[in-house]
Amino acid sequence: MSTSESKLKACETKKHILIIDDNDAVRKAFTLALEETPYEVDGAASGEKGLEMYQEKGYDLIYLDLKMPGLNGTDTLRELRKHSSDVPVYIVTAFHKEFFQELQILEAEGIAFDLLKKPVESDQILMVTQSVFEGPTVQDAGH
């Protein structure tokens, strides 16, 4: 395989990640955590923008905030699943029953998602992302 073919293949197989969160600092934290990885990271400041970007570009993994003005996380995920049933989506939220009520409705509708606990540290973002693309990741006992 020539160098240009190798580059093209690497580009084709590059994983794309979308962070949907209205908080600039959160989007930046995800981007920084993943900047040394081979993955390409984009951010969207609203559910509406995230859906638009997903339809334009397509993504291999989505991190989605739950509480956002406008289209919130659950409604964004409902819309997203109309276009893609298989892209992995992590809803980033605190593990509290009050936040889970809306998520239980989503689950009852058969809408698939996973959870990432808030607040999240950079090494945890990296670990979860790697577990999606590279298989199961060992979690340190300290985390």
Partner 1 sequence: MTYQLCLYVTGNTSRSQKAINDLKKLCTEEFQDEYELTVIDVLSQPEAADQANIIATPTVIKSLPRPILRILGDLSDKDKVLFGLNIEPSGSDGFS
Q: Which residues bind partner 1 (CB under 8 A)?
A: 88, 90, 95-97, 100, 103-104, 107, 110-117, 120, 124, 127-128, 130-132, 135-139, 141, 143
Quote the least distance from Cβ 1 to partner 1, whole Å.
26
Report the distance separating Cα 89 and Cα 111, nearest Å: 10
Run of H or E residues at 17: strand 16-20
Residue type (1 letter), 22: D
Which of residues 6 and 137 has its CB atom nearest to partner 1 in the complex? 137
Which of residues 46 and 66 has its CB atom nearest to partner 1 in the complex? 66
Cα-based angle 115, 119, 122 (whole degrees, multiple of 5): 90
Quote the least distance from Cβ 5 to partner 1, whole Å.
28
In terms of residues, how long is the chain? 143
Tell me the two tokens of residue 78: 């409902």
Which of residues 5 and 98 has its CB atom nearest to partner 1 in the complex? 98
Which of residues 69 and 135 has its CB atom nearest to partner 1 in the complex? 135
Q: How many CA atoms lie within 13 A of 15 on its CB side?
A: 17
